[in-house]
Amino acid sequence: MADTTAASPKKSVDDILKEVETTPAGLSADEASKRLAKFGPNALPEKKVNPLLRLFGYFWGPIPWMIEAAAVLSAVVRHWADLAIIVVLLIFNAAIGFFEEHKAAGTLAALKNQLALMARAYRDGKLVQIAADTLVPGDVIRLRLGDVVPADACCLDGDYLSVDQAALTGESLPVAKKVGDTVYSGSVAKQGEMTAVVTGTGANTFFGKTAKLVSSAGSVSHFQKAVMTIGDYLIYLTLALVAVLILVGLDRGEKVLDLVQFALILTVAAIPVAMPAVLSVTMAVGALALSRLKAIVSRLEAIEEMAGMDILCSDKTGTLTQNKLTLGEPLVFAAKDPADLILTGALASKAEDNDVIDLAIIHSLVDPKSLDAYKQTAFTPFDPVGKRTEATVADASGSTFKVTKGAPQVVMGLCALSKDDAAKADAAIEALAAKGSRTLGVARKDGEGGWVFSGILPLSDPPREDSATTIAKAKEHGIAVKMVTGDNTAIGREISRQLGLGVHMVSAGEFFAADADVSRLPGDVERRIEEADGFAQVFPEHKYGIVRALQDRGHLVGMTGDGVNDAPALKQADVGIAVSGATDAARAAADLVLTAPGLSVIVSAVEYARRIFERMNSYAIYRITETIRIMFFVVLAILVYNFYPITAVMIILLALLNDVPIMTIAYDNTYLDPNPVRWDMRRVLTLSTVLGTIGVIETFGLLILAKTYLKLDLAQIQSFVFLKLAVAGHLTLFVARTRKPFWAAPYPAPAMIWSAVATKALATACVGLGWFVAAVPWEYVGLIWGYCLVWLFIEDWAKLVVYGHLALDRPHHRRFLGRANRLLHPHAARMASR
């Protein structure tokens, strides 16, 4: 068999078929299996990393180097207990990181498998849908509007195909393909329909040969910015305090090796090494949960964007409506009768394309067998630009004629209608649109004559039963829903009224002039877009412009879509949502892919995303608090008392004991914010600083109690402080996880409670029984617990005070809520403005 490189357009179709050893009827299933074994899957080879090398990677890098350096120094100074615990910490962190990364990667891989591209290929003479990665050279495939071309192929049959191959060749405009031309893997069918024979798969495609297997830089998400901000804050704070510690130690004549070892261990414990991993795991767990809600996440950061989404631009058909068109009473013009008009519309349809409009018309035929007397010899499917279908039909006598159906204004424009007939048609279209019905114009052309207007077919697509309730729920969540539809303004306004979206429906043409740059709109136009309840007569480029305008007004925007024409807007949106049944192109551009119809899935996904956000926010507050508590206390205690308040072993034990319960935050029960949420660094850093400062004060109080009043020796003082930090640290997690009093609902997840209980019990046993640390009398252990519980209430009170202060002192937040209120209640805002 010939090599499977992409075929040259200069070769004839017969030559191509011979090269790949196939026929226009395609391959048999057995032959396809043999070729799949020979040529491999139709996918670019993935660079797989040996699991052992990935595991070793956790021992390589700045943070592991610091831990390893501390281990080496412990061995040099013969602190064997320190060495043993440091090695355990190193291995434990590597094992946890490796396991969680492997689990998260497996979760995402399983979810993305559900988004695998599909292809339509002829196998055993039948057109079937198969996974695109099972295509082989010689397969005959069918391409139509919205398809991502699954492999390099040569066009065999059909009138034309227009493809967008800008990502491959740099051509800015779609390219028309005819029989004998090559279409490249990864390009997108924009118009038309053709069959093609696969000539190259996987790495042997044009894309496979030119693609460079490097990671794209991409834009930095809000989530990544927040993580970097928090990480930088803690790293700079830690390094500054460690520098003070080292300088003071050198001035006091301490041993350099001991000093450096302690500083290294303290730095490792204070810097949030695991923060990116914990937050990513939290989102991965959330992504898996969202998949059970029929929402598949293709980009983890989209979960955080979803939590902050305050505007959702939603398609009408199939999302807000049932997408189950029913045919109303036909309005006859030149057709013999309603049955003849429906038959003409059916002849301009193609059942195997599974188009909902085509199927609605075909299913409305009085006698379905009446189509058997006719044969389509050519068919041009609907496209967003031409807005009509056209078919060439031969009847039983061999005579041929053409039929077309589509947007009434387009079809009427083809026909020479009298002034009265045109006025009658326009009035009927407006009357039907006012009732929420869309209309199709139908025309016929015999021989060389002109097009004759046969009549109008009214189609209604009623709202989904759950749409109005779901929209009301979205408003309760602070999300303004704006309808975006290609239908005329009257239809959009009626459906919008029925759903409670408001009736300020605006034609997109009012905002976007012909050939205007949709990415740059005047400020007054952006404001009018923000105030509109919905948009009608929308073209693909308009959707992109609407999203950009709303983003420029400071909103996080979600956009739903299902077609290839929606891909630019889905990519631009903060949360691109491909609805159930979306094309491959739309799914590839989206952040969230729905596998169930309707908006209710989106609202459920938003609720879960906000809970995930709260978990990430709680962890960030807790981690900053702990760094401030430990670092400031240790450094200040050394400056004041000239001794280490805790040992290196104790610091390592604290890190180990804290790692276990904090991982369970991914499963915590959380507060559901009724409004969109975004990272507020002022809130996070303010609350963390207050709680951390309180932690330093309370720990100093216990240190004074142990040293001055209980007269404990140094080793027991260190054990005393160690147990206090272990117990109080875990209790702080329960304070940080909620904005309400810590004892109020929502209550912590059982996993979080029991992991905290287990690690606190272990820390208590270490101090009470003298494991790894000096033993302390049990009555003093009880004293520490009582002391920590008292301060738990003080910390919680301080937290509530901070939240109350921040809520009153956030003018930008009030402006945001005011803007959201105007979006959610536009009529009240307009009345107030009068």
**Distance between first and last Cα of the chain:** 77
Do 307 and 334 contact (CB within 8 A), yes or no? no
Do 623 and 314 contact (CB within 8 A), yes or no? no
Residue 85 DSSP SS3: helix
Read off the amino acid at residue 355.
D
Residue 532 DSSP SS3: coil
**Phi, psi torsion values for 203, nearest 5 degrees:** -70, -15
Burial class (CB within 10 angstroms; exposed 0-12, middle 13-18, buried 19+) of 369 = exposed
**Phi, psi torsion values for 178, nearest 5 degrees:** -120, 180
Residues 6+ positions from 819 with CB-CB distance below 8 Å: 554
Do 588 and 567 contact (CB within 8 A), yes or no? yes
- Dump the DSSP string for 622-633: HHHHHHHHHHHH
The most distant pair of C-alpha atoms in the chain lies apart, rounded to whole Å, by: 113
Which residues does residue 163 pair with via DSSP β-bridges, in sequence order?
A: 175, 189
Do 149 and 189 contact (CB within 8 A), yes or no? yes
Do 632 and 697 contact (CB within 8 A), yes or no? no
Cα separation, 270 vs 626, in Å, equals: 8
Question: Which residue matches tokens 């919205």?
Answer: 146
| CA-CA-CA-CA dihedral for 260, 265, 268, 271, to nearest 10 | -80
Question: Which residue matches tokens 């003070």?
Answer: 244
User: Which of these is catalytic: 164, 315, 358, 591?
Assistant: 315
Which residues does residue 123 pair with via DSSP β-bridges, in sequence order?
A: 27, 126
Pinpoint the alpha helices (H) of 77-128.
80-113
Q: Nearest 5°: CA angle at 332, between 329 and 333?
A: 155
Residue 145 DSSP SS3: coil
Q: Residue 698 corresponds to which tokens in the numbers above?
A: 């309370």
Q: Is 420 a catalytic residue?
A: no
Residue of 619, 695, 577 whose CA lies nearest to 231: 619
Do 98 and 54 contact (CB within 8 A), yes or no? yes
Active-site annotation, residues: 315
